[in-house]
Amino acid sequence: MKRLILLFFILLSTSLPLKEAFAGDPFYYDQRTRLVNTCTEILMSHGLCADKNDCIKKQFVFVGGSSGGIYLEVYGVTEMPVISKVISASVSEYAKNNKKISVTVYFYNEKHNDVEGIIGAIFSSPFAQLNLGGE
């Protein structure tokens, strides 16, 4: 029986692309990747970071997925033109998927480092939020 269970997990992990098999979050990988790449381009075009690595280092954008859709968290960005473009990109991704997945975006005034941990999470909340429900 143990061998059968082990074989099942081996087959499951090898049937998924390697980056998803070990990422722990295989939901809507392509959609999340497109959205985070678009947001990174928006941040770079507004001079908030020099390149993709700089954006990652500054921890502006975090993205995740669930069985119902994707979510995006944007930290330390309060400029309305940037927020507007991120919202537009999120609506575009929602439309590309025929409104079948939910897309949620949270905007925080604080930097990600300031929100980390239990105390930071208690005292911080998004100043703006976009919720697009999947059909």
Q: Where are the domains of the chain?
A: 24-132
Contact 129, 105 (CB under 8 A): yes
Hey, which CATH number is domain 24-132, 1.10.10, 3.30.70, 3.30.429, 1.10.1200? Answer: 3.30.429
Q: How do residues 44-81 score in pLDDT, each as one tens digit?
A: 999 999 999 998 999 989 888 877 889 899 999 989 99
Q: Mean pLDDT, the chain, as a whole number?
A: 77
**Does the pTM of the predicted model rise above 0.75?**
no
The DSSP result for 41-70, as a single string, is HHHHHTTS-SSHHHHHHHT-EEEEEETTEE
